[in-house]
Amino acid sequence: MLLLGIETSCDDTGIGIVDSTRTIRADIVASQLADHKPYGGVVPEIAARAHLDVIDGAITRAMADANITFADLSGIAATTGPGLIGGVMVGAMAGKAIAAVRRLPFIAVNHLEAHALTPRLTGDIPFPYLLLLASGGHCQLVFVRGVGDYRVLGRTIDDAIGECFDKCAKLLGLGYPGGPLIEQAARNGDPSAFALPRPMVGRANCDFSFSGLKTAVRTAVQGRDITPALVANMAASLQAAIADSVADRARHAFAMLENEKPAAFVTAGGAAANQSLRARLAAVAAANNVPFDAPPARLCTDNGVMVAWAGLERLRLGLTDALDTPARPRWPLEEMKG
Ligand code: KG4
Ligand code: ZN
């Protein structure tokens, strides 16, 4: 099987091609960072237009990288939600058009499911597994029983982890996206320099909260000179606070799964690229006697490969979608069907 995947739900135009031996045959990501930079965040209308500008060229390049023609493909997968609706429509329409003209099966992919299944592409992880999905827009602990079969154990009641990194980075005068810049700055900082709160620690559920942390960072830096030393110390302190909070939530997830033991603990989504977070999660997995795995950073942030892979997982179960499948701004994992 050979699948082409299209990802356009946020600010990256991703085109990926994978096959059933789990080989990545093409991986094109056209970033729009420069287009959004002046605004300090993603502007939905700019994103949709930028996807439209580059999508055809990105598909052509991916096909050339894989050295295949459309006739070689088994199906076309595209993210149809959740995400910024204009961009989602651009990618979904491109995918549907190729599927219609080439008479190929079309697979409507949930962006969250694409992140959730990536560890099976990169690590061959068996079901069921516990997943921390940590991106710019989403933060949840999910028990993944199978394709389309998700039990969400807890989620953020306000901001996502990546969003917290991004907002705090802005307060510290760093650029966007903030996660990688905070991680870099933290290398020279002291994680105990600022006594930040550890949100939700000890709560008898698996929910997250990060907006209080952002407020604490704002209060701590208000009126102070934003020197490189302060940025480094705050970045390290923030990273430590987030890692402590997330590790505690993950421990609760294992406790909730007493009767359904996961085969592995995995993480995915943009913020899962963070090495200090990964190290803490690996320790929680070890304490629960399960292996830990996380895709390489490049496949944690948005990309087309994960969409192609999710499409392949669905297609081999016979799950395909009609060409009038709508684009959805909101599409929780619990509403998936296997
Ligand atoms: O999954 P993703 O590419 O897009 C969404 O679906 O949201 O995630 C982007 C988020 C951004 O908030 C970014 O700051 C964060 O992932 N991120 C990181 C790192 N790399 C990306 N956060 C922490 N550490 C990183 N190294
Ligand atoms: Zn994402």
pLDDT in tens, 164-220: 999 999 999 998 889 999 999 999 999 999 999 999 999 999 999 999 999 999 999
What is the pLDDT confidence band of residue 40, given thresholds at 50, 70 and 90? Answer: confident
Task: Indicate the pLDDT class of residue 39, thresholds 50, 70 and 90.
Answer: confident
Which residue has tokens 């580059």?
54
pLDDT digits over 205-232, tens only? 999 999 999 999 999 999 999 999 999 9
| Whether 140 and 279 share a structural domain | yes
Question: Would 44 be classed as within a structural domain?
Answer: yes
Could you report the per-residue pLDDT of 78-133, keeping only the tens digit for each?
Answer: 999 999 999 999 999 999 999 999 999 999 999 999 999 999 999 999 999 999 99
Q: Which domain holds residue 55?
A: 2-116+299-335
Q: What is the mean pLDDT of the chain?
A: 96
The answer to the question of residue 122 being in a domain is no
Name the pLDDT band for 319 (thresholds 50, 70, 90).
Answer: very high
Pocket test for ligand 1, best of 79, 165, 331 (most atoms within 8 A of CB): 165
- Whether residues 138 and 260 share a domain: the answer is yes
One domain for residues 233 and 289: yes
Same domain, 271 and 161: yes
Neighbouring C-alpha atoms within 13 Å toward the C-beta of 29:
16
Distance of alpha carbon 56 from alpha carbon 45, whole angstroms: 19
What atom of ligand 1 comes closest to residue 165's alpha carbon?
A: 14
Answer yes or no: is pLDDT of 302 > 80.
yes
Among 308, 306, 286, residue whose Cα is nearest residue 296: 306
Give the HSE-up count for residue 225: Cα atoms under 13 Å, Cβ half-sphere: 3
Is position 221 within any domain? Answer: yes
Number of domains in the chain: 2
- pLDDT at residue 269 tops 90: yes
What is the pLDDT confidence band of residue 241, given thresholds at 50, 70 and 90?
very high
Q: How many CA atoms lie within 13 Å of 207's alpha carbon, on the beta-carbon side? A: 10
CB count within 10 Å of CB 98 equals: 18
Q: Is residue 210 part of a domain?
A: yes
Q: Are 292 and 303 in the same domain?
A: no
| Those residues with Cβ within 8 angstroms of residue 93's Cβ, 6 or more apart along the chain or in another chain | none
278 and 147 assigned to the same domain: yes
Contact in structure between 161 and 215 (CB atoms under 8 Å): no
User: How many CB atoms are closer than 10 A to CB 242?
Assistant: 27
121 in any annotated domain? no
Q: Report the pLDDT value the prediction gives residue 3, as an integer from 0 to 100.
A: 98
Query: Could you read off the pLDDT of 44-73 as tens digits, one per residue?
Result: 999 999 999 999 999 999 999 999 999 999
pLDDT at 337 over 80: no
Residue 321 banded pLDDT, cuts 50, 70, 90: very high
164 belongs to a structural domain:
yes
Q: What is the CATH number of the domain that holds 244?
A: 3.30.420.40
Does any domain span residue 306?
yes
Residues 66 and 141 in one domain: no
Q: Same domain for 305 and 267?
A: no
Domain match, 212 and 327 both: no
Are residue 276 and residue 303 in the same domain, yes or no?
no
Query: Which residues are near ligand 1 (CB < 6 Å)?
Result: 10, 135-137, 162-163, 165-166, 177-180, 183, 269-271, 273-274, 301-302
Which ranges constitute the DSSP H helices of the chain? Answer: 33-36, 44-66, 85-102, 111-123, 161-171, 178-186, 211-221, 228-256, 275-287, 297-300, 304-315
In a domain, 186, yes or no: yes
> Measured in angstroms, how far is the CA atom of residue 61 from the centroid of ligand 2?
22
| Residue tagged 């994960």 (tokens) | 306
Both 134 and 186 in one domain: the answer is yes
SS3 42: coil
Ligand having the closest approach to the CA of 138: 1
| 150 and 249 fall within a common domain | yes
pLDDT computed for residue 280 by the predictor: 97
From residue 145, how far is each of 71, 112, 117, 125, 294 by CA, in Å? 33, 15, 11, 12, 18
Residue 338: per-residue pLDDT: 58
Cα(104) to centroid of ligand 1, in Å? Answer: 33
Beta bridge partners of 292: 265
Stretch 266-276: mean pLDDT, rounded? 96
Which residues neighbour 330 within 8 Å (Cβ) at sequence distance 6 or greater?
A: 81, 82
Q: Which of 164, 50, 59, 148 is nearest to 107 (CA)?
A: 148
